[in-house]
Amino acid sequence: MAVKTTKKLTPQQEALKSDIIGKVNRHFGKILEEATPHMIYAACALTVRDRIMEKWAVSHQEVKKEGSKKLYYLSFEFLMGRLLCTNILNLMQTEDYKAVLEDLGYTLEQVAELENDAGLGNGGLGRLAACFIDSLTTLDLPAYGCTLRYEYGLFRQKIVDGYQTELPDSWLEYGNAWEVARPEEAVKVTFGGDVHTSWENGVMKISYSNERSVMAMPYDVPLCGYDSKVVNKLRLWSAKSATDFDMRAFNQGEYVRAMEEKELAEVISKVLYPEDNHTEGKELRLKQQYFLVSATLQWILKEFEMRNGDDWSLLPEKVVIHINDTHPTMAIPELMRLLMDEKGLGWDESWDIVTHVFAYTNHTVMREALEKWPQDMFRRILPRLYMILEEMNRRLMERLEAFYPGDAAKHRYMAILADNQVSMANTCLASCFAVNGVSKLHTEILKNDIFKDYYLMDKERFHAITNGITFRRWIANCNPELAKLIDETIGKGWLKDAEKLSKLADYAEDPVFQKKFDAIKKSNKKMVAEYILEHNGIKVDPDSIFDIQCKRLHEYKRQMMNVLHIIAEYNRILTDKDYAESYYPKTYIFGAKAAPGYKRAKLIIKLINSVGDMINNDARINDKIKVVFVENYGVSIAEKLVTAADVSEQISTAGKEASGTGNMKFMLNGAVTVGTMDGANVEMYEQVGDDNIYIFGLRSDEVAARERIPGGDEVKNIYATNSSLRHALEQLIDGSIVPENTNLFMDLYNTLLFGDYGYPDTYMVLRDFEDYMNIQERISKDYQDREKWIAKQIMNTAMSGYFSSDRTIEEYNDKIWHLTPIK
Ligand code: 26Q
């Protein structure tokens, strides 16, 4: 731990210090000298939580007094990462905590590192939800995030012999300092059984038999905004056996059976499904979905009733519910159920309310990610919801017949229920008052392609809202030196008004500013080099070009193209003397988790590691190329990597990456992007202009045209004419990379050249390769013109203001939510 400083504390800091010591005493029963670093962390977190709680009490009263409309953001993922530093920053107390901890012999960074990441998400979609809640709160908008309290978040990745292995992420093992349990607000969620209908005075009554119930127990994490008085919360629902609440089973002597049921019930919130951009019809996932949705809606209605009584027609004025991708779609039929079966409303009245309450965001156009459930499974687990979907579908068919008369094929693929499947996207499209894509290009694809026929029925409902990231985490916290330099150069306002960053453009060519900017990048690169040395045992040169691709591993993201290109560069260094002499050293850094069942993605991880072993240990290369795979990529590792990149790899097949948000994090921290015209890259290009981004490859319409034909001839021709690509491909299967197992990468070779269903090169890796190779060569050259390059980096930071999630949230609010900021 750090050496104690002797700086004098201010009275406020003295008070904070005794608060922290007080927590150590009272919470852990220890004196300061006996406290472990982890206790110091927890004590700090508890003092922060106290401060947020004080604000919360006030903010809560304001919302109540004003009767404000509220947003409930439903998401199966909230990838929060660590909370200590963001909370302290948002409370504007970073300097105080730093000083006090130093006085106690620690640094804030050391203490912050002791917090487990809350890894309750797979990737982009989950991290977006986390950025949104920060911006919502900072903009004083009343909002709740709602998700599951997974006991295990996204698995921990351990690389063994170059292969990914998965370990459980037991993030709650030391408890969670931020959450507050609310047992008094637990609700019951019911599954399965038989539904009985009867009529009483002309009103349909629903009853159940043989159903099973699970209790949903809420835990609240209060969240404060940056320099704001508002406190919002993230509500995490945890599954608890109903027998804990209802002791009947015990009285009947069924102790063991009761315990078995307890296990079965509590498994619901046990673990986050680790697939992203892919769905599989797993029963437990279906149960998770209903569990979150039903618990949340019961709570929403209870809160509404407390404030507004039972005039349910006011619900759309007071409540907006956002569905983060289709995963919480069951909220729609569940609200129908609650309004009809529990509150006694008729179908038409309920439908009128439901269709004014829900908004839906789509995050992917990948076919395998469009959620569909087998009808039998759905009916068995959620019989009443299924009945409601049947009626929704019947009425939908009438609407479709009116709009598209006689077009049975169209009705069928637009249906909620068809081909023995329940379509979640169609359920949303049939019910939500707003639908949006997450970048301009992505929204165009929704409107003109995958949701075209719904778009034509009601165009006004569709919105393009480009994603964003919170600048508080993604620069102020992760790159404090750069944030400080910006403060000194253009003043402080930019953290709340990101467009102000554009003033930095005036300094892009200023030698003094350039020098400072470059020194910060260099020092971040040194820090990452140390991290790599410690964790990978690989020595990398901070003066080399840091070229980074970190994101989930997926074929469409094309880590494969990156590796093939590295192999080609390596070959060329070995064979072309002039090239070798002029080659500017490069460090290629990867970070990626693969879904545990995605074999090919896992093989690509092995390939990256094997190529790394081959190159890093080849003396002939003379350390000119290093390839590093950073294990267990997640939010906290991203916070380091994004600050240290010279080149940011955003190379997905055009049309496939809905937006991307990692691209924005790198840009903000002054990396130059090499990318395709995909997702938000297109808008980054618009912001920085041709000189400050490296765009290559097929455009999305060109990709789409190629997807309509098998494309074998084109691929064969590339194979025949591009010898460096051909050579790299052959090395996949000739034992060059892993001599003891020649066949290891055969599947990768085959899928590129022959494809899975007669469509070779599904993701256009081969077809974009040459363009990629050329642009990489240009980057290496341009990097060496230091002044020009640093100017490009500065321009990237300067023009990134548009990608603040504050802007994104303002757009959602103007176009969709219509919330009023709390005074
Ligand atoms: C669904 C059903 C069953 C199991 C898993 C899933 C599932 C889980 C996660 C399906 C998809 C996801 C995640 C999708 C995702 O992260 N999409 C990304 O969203 C980002 C935020 O909008 C975009 O920037 C990315 O482009 C997009 O890939």
Tens digits of residue pLDDT in 354-379: 999 999 999 999 988 899 999 999 99
Pocket test for ligand 1, best of 125, 275, 558 (most atoms within 8 A of CB): 125
Predicted pLDDT at 246: 60
552 is catalytic: yes
For residue 728, the CA-to-ligand 1 centroid distance in Å is: 32
User: Which residue has its alpha carbon closest to ligand 1 atom 24?
Assistant: 660
Structure tokens at 519: 């020194």
Predicted pLDDT at 5: 58
557 is catalytic: yes
Dist. CA 284–CA 306, nearest whole Å: 33
Dist. CA 107–CA 99, nearest whole Å: 8
818 is catalytic: no
User: Which residue has its alpha carbon closest to ligand 1 atom 2?
Assistant: 279
Task: Give the CA-trace dihedral at 756, 762, 767, 768, to 10 degrees.
Answer: -140
327 is catalytic: no
Dist. CA 174–CA 332, nearest whole Å: 37
Q: Which of 447, 554, 665, 792 is catalytic?
A: 665
Predicted pLDDT at 628: 98
Predicted pLDDT at 525: 98
Pocket test for ligand 1, best of 75, 324, 364, 653 (most atoms within 8 A of CB): 364
Which is it for the CA torsion 708, 710, 712, 713, positive or negative? negative
Are the beta carbons of 621 and 570 closer than 8 angstroms? yes
Residues 392-413: tens digit of each pLDDT = 999 999 999 999 999 999 999 9
Predicted pLDDT at 368: 86
Residues of the chain with pLDDT under 50: 1-2
Which residues approach ligand 1 with their CB closer than 6 A? 122-125, 128, 273, 275-277, 279, 285, 327, 363-364, 369, 371, 438, 467, 657-661, 679
Dist. CA 790–CA 422, nearest whole Å: 52
665 is catalytic: yes
For residue 667, the CA-to-ligand 1 centroid distance in Å is: 22
Q: H or E element: which one contains 731?
A: helix 723-733
Residue 200 Cα to chain centre, angstroms: 48
- AA identity, residue 50: D
**CA-derived radius of gyration, the chain:** 28
